[in-house]
C-alpha cells in the first residue's frame, strides 16, 4: 500500500471519529424513568426492580423503583405525584386503585410524560399501554386447578385485595370458571390487604370457628404463605392454590403446605415496560408524527407477559433455572 493511500485512509478514519463524536447521543445523560410500585417490600417487586435496572443499564439511562412500604393506595398516589413533579422521561405504575390514580395519570399524559401501567391497570385512564398478565385468564387457571384438586365439589375461600383491578379480574376469572362446577361454592372472600400476617390471622379465625373449608385460592402474592402458616400451626390440611413465586410460597410447595401457584413474570414486565416508555419518550415509532397527538397509540396497548403453574412436580426445576436477581439497595 503506497503512502498516498495510507494518508487518505487515515484522513477518513479521523473524519469518521470526529463525526461520531459530534453526533448527539440518543439518550440524554440525565434521562430517567421511574416505576411506582404498590409495595416495595414484596419479593415480587424486587424481581421487577431487577428487570427495570437491567434494561436501564443496557439502554444507558437512569431508573428507579419507588412506592409505599406496604399496601397503601393513598401513599402510592402521593409517591406518583412526587415522581410527576420531578419530570421524569417516563413513568411506570402498578395501579392499586384506578379511581385514585386515574386523574394523576391523565395529568402526566397531559404534560407529555408517557405512563405505562404494569402488572395492574387503570383501563379508563389515558395511560398509553398495559404490560402484564392477562389476569382474567390467570384467575381462570387458578379456578380450574382448584376444581381438579377438589374433583368438582367443595367449599372454597378466596384470599385477595378487593378493588385492585388486576385482582378483581382474577376473581372474575375464578368465579366464571367455578360456575362450570355447580358443586363448588365460594364460601367466603377474605381481604388480606396484601399482608401475610392478616391472611394468617383470618384463616386461623375461620379454622377455629369450625368453618368448612375444602380449598383456598389466593389471588395475591403473600396470601398463600400466610394461609399455609396458619394451617401448619393448627395442624389442618387444606389444599391451597397460590399466586406468584415469592420464596415463601415456593418453600411451602416443597413442604406440601401449598399445592400449586400461578406465577407471573415481574422481571419481564419491568424489563419491557421501560423500553416501551423509552420508545415513547423518543417518539421512536414513526407511524404518527408524535405519540402525544396520535389518534391511537403507536405501540401495542396490551402486552401479555404470560403465566406458569408451579407445583411439587416442577418446583425444583423452576428454582434451578431462575436467575439470582439482586435485592434492592
Asked if 48 and 269 count as a contact pair (C-beta separation under 8 A), the reply is yes
Q: Does residue 20 carry a pLDDT above 50? A: no
Cross-strand pairs, 93: 36, 117
**pLDDT value of position 62:** 97
For residue range 195-243, list pLDDT tens digits in order. Answer: 999 999 999 999 999 889 999 999 998 899 999 999 999 999 999 999 9
Distance CA(37)–CA(259), nearest Å, equals 28
Average pLDDT estimate for 25-43: 90
Domain at 32-133+265-306: CATH code: 3.40.50.2300
Residues found in the chain: 329
**pLDDT value of position 211:** 87
Q: What is this structure's pTM?
A: 0.86
Class of residue 194 by CB neighbours under 10 A (exposed 0-12, middle 13-18, buried 19+): buried
Mean pLDDT is lowest, of 16-20, 66-70, 147-151, for: 16-20
**pLDDT value of position 23:** 53
> Side by side, which strands form the sheet with 260-263?
184-191, 154-160, 215-218, 240-243, 260-263, 308-311
Asked if 310 and 91 count as a contact pair (C-beta separation under 8 A), the reply is no
Distances from the Cα of 116 to the Cα of 70, 229, 305, angstroms: 22, 36, 14
Average pLDDT estimate for 310-324: 91
**pLDDT value of position 327:** 60
For residue range 141-168, list pLDDT tens digits in order. Answer: 999 999 999 999 999 999 999 999 999 9
Q: pLDDT band for position 322 (50/70/90)? A: confident
Q: Does residue 12 carry a pLDDT above 70? A: no
Mean pLDDT score across all residues of the chain: 91
Q: pLDDT band for position 4 (50/70/90)? A: low
Query: 3-state class of 166 per DSSP?
Result: helix
Q: Does residue 19 carry a pLDDT above 60? A: no
Average pLDDT estimate for 12-40: 72
**pLDDT value of position 323:** 80
Query: 3-state class of 59 per DSSP?
Result: helix
The reply to whether domains 32-133+265-306 and 135-263 share a CATH topology is yes
Share of the chain above pLDDT 70, in %: 91
Distances from the Cα of 266 to the Cα of 94, 96, 180, 270, angstroms: 11, 16, 31, 6
| Letter string b/e over residues 218-238, b meaning 16 or more CB atoms within 10 A of that residue's CB | bbbbbbbbbbbbbbeeeeeeb
Q: pLDDT band for position 248 (50/70/90)? A: very high
More confident residue, 2 or 258: 258
Q: Cell 416501551, residue? A: 276
Name every residue whose Cβ is closer than 8 Å to that of residue 176 and which is 6 or more positions away in sequence: 140, 143
For residue range 110-128, list pLDDT tens digits in order. Answer: 999 999 999 999 999 999 9
Cβ count within 10 A of residue 259:
21
Share of the chain above pLDDT 90, in %: 84
Closest CA to 233 of 259, 266, 205: 205
Name every residue whose Cβ is closer than 8 Å to that of residue 39 and which is 6 or more positions away in sequence: 45, 67, 68, 69, 70, 71, 194
For residue range 291-300, list pLDDT tens digits in order. Answer: 999 999 999 9
Distance CA(159)–CA(188), nearest Å, equals 9
Q: In sequence order, which ranges of the chain are alpha helices (DSSP H)?
A: 3-22, 43-59, 73-85, 98-110, 135-149, 165-178, 196-208, 223-233, 247-254, 266-281, 315-321
More confident residue, 172 or 326: 172
**pLDDT value of position 2:** 56
Asked if 309 and 141 count as a contact pair (C-beta separation under 8 A), the reply is yes
The radius of gyration computed from the CA coordinates of the chain, to the nearest angstrom, equals 24
Homologous superfamily of domain range 135-263: Response regulator (3.40.50.2300)
The domain locations on the chain are 32-133+265-306, 135-263
Distance CA(200)–CA(321), nearest Å, equals 30
**pLDDT value of position 3:** 53
Average pLDDT estimate for 175-204: 95
Amino acid at each position: 500500500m503506497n503512502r498516498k493511500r495510507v494518508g487518505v485512509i487515515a484522513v477518513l478514519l479521523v473524519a469518521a471519529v470526529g463525526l461520531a463524536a459530534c453526533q448527539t447521543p440518543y439518550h440524554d445523560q440525565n434521562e430517567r424513568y421511574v416505576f411506582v410500585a404498590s409495595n416495595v417490600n414484596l419479593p415480587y417487586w424486587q424481581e421487577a426492580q431487577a428487570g427495570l435496572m437491567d434494561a436501564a443499564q443496557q439502554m444507558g439511562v437512569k431508573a428507579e423503583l419507588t412506592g409505599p412500604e406496604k399496601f397503601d393506595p393513598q401513599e402510592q398516589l402521593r409517591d406518583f405525584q412526587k415522581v410527576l413533579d420531578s419530570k421524569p422521561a417516563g413513568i411506570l405504575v402498578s395501579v392499586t386503585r384506578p379511581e385514585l390514580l386515574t386523574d394523576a395519570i391523565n395529568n402526566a399524559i397531559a404534560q407529555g410524560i408517557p405512563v405505562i401501567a404494569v402488572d395492574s391497570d387503570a383501563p379508563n385512564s389515558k395511560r398509553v399501554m398495559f404490560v402484564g398478565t392477562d389476569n382474567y385468564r390467570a384467575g381462570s387457571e387458578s379456578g380450574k386447578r382448584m376444581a381438579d384438586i377438589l374433583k368438582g365439589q367443595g367449599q372454597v375461600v378466596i384470599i385477595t385485595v378487593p378493588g385492585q383491578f388486576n385482582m378483581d379480574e382474577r376473581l372474575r376469572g375464578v368465579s366464571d370458571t367455578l360456575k362450570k362446577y355447580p358443586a363448588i361454592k365460594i364460601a367466603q372472600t377474605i381481604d388480606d390487604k396484601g399482608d401475610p400476617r392478616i391472611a394468617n390471622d383470618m384463616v386461623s379465625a375461620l379454622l377455629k370457628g369450625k368453618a368448612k373449608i375444602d380449598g383456598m385460592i389466593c389471588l395475591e402474592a403473600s396470601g398463600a404463605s400466610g394461609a399455609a402458616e396458619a394451617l401448619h400451626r393448627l395442624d389442618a390440611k387444606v389444599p391451597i392454590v397460590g399466586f406468584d413465586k415469592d420464596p415463601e410460597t415456593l418453600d411451602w410447595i416443597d413442604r406440601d403446605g401449598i399445592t400449586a401457584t400461578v406465577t407471573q413474570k415481574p422481571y419481564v414486565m419491568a424489563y419491557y415496560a421501560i423500553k416501551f416508555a423509552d420508545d415513547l419518550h423518543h417518539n421512536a415509532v414513526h407511524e404518527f408524527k408524535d405519540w402525544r397527538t396520535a389518534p391511537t397509540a403507536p405501540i401495542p396497548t396490551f402486552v401479555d407477559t404470560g403465566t406458569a403453574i408451579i407445583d411439587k412436580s416442577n418446583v425444583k426445576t423452576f428454582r434451578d433455572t431462575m436467575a439470582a436477581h439482586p435485592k434492592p439497595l
